Amino acid sequence: MADSQPNAPQSLYAAHEPVFPRKVYGKFRNLKWVIMAVTLGIYYLTPWIRWDRGPSLPDQAVLLDLAERRFFFFWIEIWPHEFYFVAGLLVMAGLGLFLFTSALGRVWCGYACPQTVWTDLFILVERWIEGDRNARLRLHRQKKWDVRKVRLRVTKWLAWLLIAVATGGAWVFYFTDAPTLLIDLFALDAHPIAYTTIAVLTGTTFFFGGFAREQICIYACPWPRIQAAMMDEDTLTVGYREWRGEPRKNSEEVRAGAAQGDCIDCMACVNVCPVGIDIRDGQQMECITCALCIDACDDVMAKIGKPRGLIDYMALTDEARERSGELPKPVWQHIFRPRTILYTVLWSAVGFGLVFALFMRSNIDLTVAPVRNPTYVTLSSGEIRNIYEVRLRNMKNDASRFKFSVKGDPTLVITLEGTPYTSVEVAPDEMRLQRVYVTAPPNSAPARAESTDIRIWVEDTGSGTRDFKDTVFNGRGQ
C-alpha cells in the first residue's frame, strides 16, 4: 500500500473506536426496556407453548417441522403447497416496514431489531459487571491486565456467552419438540445439526452483540441505505433543534460574546449514543433513532430549567416551520398522510386476503395427473380405459375415507387400483398416491371421441367435504 502513496506516511486505516454508552433514564428508555422484555420473552418462550392437536400431531404451538414438511402455528397448519401463506406474510412484513419507516423513520432499528435488542441486553450486562461509561472507559484504557481487569472481563464474557448459548439454544426449539430436544441436548443425544446450529448462533450472538454491535448496523446492514428511499420530509426522526440550541456553550461565537443558545455542550447526547455519533450534526446514516439522546437531553434541560425537546422527534417540515416561528405540525398529521394510509390499506388488504384464504381452504387437496404414455388402453373387452395418477392429501387429524366419482358422460365408470371399491382411506395428515381408472364401453361416445372433458370428484365420506379436478378422457379418436 505504502509504495503507491509516498506522500502519505501514516496509515490510512482507522481502528474501530469502541462505544461506551452511558446509562440513561427517561420515557423512551422505559419504552425500550418494555419492548426488550416483550420481544425477548416472545423469542425464548414461544417454543414452550403447548397446543393439543390430537394423538397423531405434535403438540407444540409454533413448530417448523422440516422433516415432515409442515408449519404449525397454533390452530393453523401449513403444508408445503400452501407456502403462499408464508409469501403473503413476508409481503405483509415488507409493507409493514414501509409503513413504519415512512411514518416513524427507523423505528424498527431503534426499538425492535434483534441486533438492537440483543446489543442493548449485552450493554446492560456489561454495565452491571464493569460499571457505567466512565468505569468502562478506564478499564478499556488500562493497558495492564491485572487481576481485577481479568476478573471483570472474564465475568462479562461468561455472562455474554450464557446469553448467546440461550439464544442459539432457543432457536433450535422452533424446529422440533422443545422438551424432548432439551433433554436430548443435555444427554448429548441430539442431532449434530442441533449442536452445530446452536454453536453457530452462539458464536454470532456473542460476536454481534458483544463486539460488532453498531458496526453491524453501519457496515453490514442494508436497511440504513434503503431507508433514504422510504423516508420523506414528513417522516418523524430524531433531530436537534439547532436554531434553539446554537450557538452552544464553549463555541467560538459565544466566546466572542454572542448570546448562548440552549445547548450547554454537556455531551450527554453523545455519551448515551449506542452508535457513537453526535446527533447535533444533523440526521446521519448511523443513527438508529433509538431516542436515548432525547431522554438524556430532556434530563439536562430539566436540570437547567429549560423546556424539554432540544433534541426530539421531529420531521424536516417542522424545521422550516419552527425556524420561521410557526408551531410544528401535530404528530398525527405526520403519521396520517396519504402515503402511510396507502401502505396501511395495502397491508390490511393482504392481511384480509390471507385470513380469508385461511378460512376458505379445504382440508382435502387433490391433484389429478392424466397418464399420457399411452393416452388410452384398450381392454380385452374392447373398453377404452384412461389412467390418472391422483394425489390426495388428507389435512385432517384423523383418517378419512374418500369416495371417487366421475362426471362428464354417463357411460364412464371409475375404478381404483388395488381395491374393488371406489373409495380409499387416507391416514391422518398424509398424502396418498392413487392410480385411478376411468373406463368407457367399447362403442360409447367417449371411447370414439378424440377427447371428452370430465370432472373427477372426491368426497370425504365422513364430513361430506367435496373437491374436484377437471381433466380429459382420451378416446380412440375414430
Point out which residues bind another protein (CB under 8 A): 1, 4-5, 7-8, 12-13, 17, 267, 270-271, 278, 371-374, 377-382, 385, 387, 417-418, 435, 437, 442
Cell numbers standing for residue 473: 378422457
Write the CB contacts of 276 (distance below 8 Å, at least 6 apart in sequence): 17, 19, 214, 286
Q: How far is the CB of 459 from another protein (least distance, A)?
A: 23
Q: How many whole angstroms separate alpha carbon 165 and alpha carbon 203?
A: 8
CB of 94 or CB of 374, closer to another protein: 374
| 41 CB burial (10 A radius; 0-12, 13-18, 19+) | exposed
The packing angle between helices 114-130 and 133-141, to 10°, is: 80
Q: How far is the CB of 476 from another protein (least distance, A)?
A: 11
Q: How far is the CB of 8 from another protein (least distance, A)?
A: 6
CB of 17 or CB of 252, closer to another protein: 17
CB of 265 or CB of 467, closer to another protein: 265
Q: How far is the CB of 90 from another protein (least distance, A)?
A: 31
Concatenating the DSSP letter of every residue in 396-454 gives: SSS-EEEEEEEES-TT-EEEETTBSSSEEEE-TTEEEEEEEEEEE-TTSHHHHSSEEEE
Residue type, 225: R
CB of 137 or CB of 182, closer to another protein: 137
Write the CB contacts of 290 (distance below 8 Å, at least 6 apart in sequence): 28, 32, 109, 110, 111, 116, 274
Q: How far is the CB of 300 from another protein (least distance, A)?
A: 16
CB of 12 or CB of 147, closer to another protein: 12
Q: How many whole angstroms separate alpha carbon 262 and alpha carbon 306?
A: 7
Residue tagged 387429524 (cell numbers): 397
Among 21, 214, 52, 238, which residue's Cα sits nearest to residue 130? Answer: 21
Concatenating the DSSP letter of every residue in 265-327 gives: ---HHHHT-TT---GGG-S-TT-----HHHHHHHHHHHHTT--S-SEEEE-HHHHHHHHTTPP
Q: How far is the CB of 85 from another protein (least distance, A)?
A: 29
CB of 267 or CB of 342, closer to another protein: 267
23 SS3 class = coil
Count of other CB atoms within 10 angstroms of residue 156:
20
Q: How far is the CB of 418 from another protein (least distance, A)?
A: 6
CB of 301 or CB of 436, closer to another protein: 436
CB of 5 or CB of 324, closer to another protein: 5
Q: How far is the CB of 269 from another protein (least distance, A)?
A: 12
Q: How far is the CB of 405 from another protein (least distance, A)?
A: 19
Q: How many whole angstroms separate alpha carbon 314 and alpha carbon 7?
A: 45
CB of 182 or CB of 266, closer to another protein: 266
CB of 95 or CB of 440, closer to another protein: 440
Count of other CB atoms within 10 angstroms of residue 288:
29
Q: How far is the CB of 403 from another protein (least distance, A)?
A: 20
Q: How many whole angstroms separate alpha carbon 109 and alpha carbon 223?
A: 9
Among 426, 396, 408, which residue's Cα sits nearest to residue 474? Answer: 408
Count of other CB atoms within 10 angstroms of residue 353:
13
Q: How far is the CB of 91 from another protein (least distance, A)?
A: 34
CB of 197 or CB of 422, closer to another protein: 422
- The answer to whether 452 and 445 are in contact (CB under 8 A) is yes
Q: How far is the CB of 381 from another protein (least distance, A)?
A: 6
Among 78, 54, 52, which residue's Cα sits nearest to residue 66? Answer: 78
- The answer to whether 138 and 239 are in contact (CB under 8 A) is no
CB of 326 or CB of 417, closer to another protein: 417
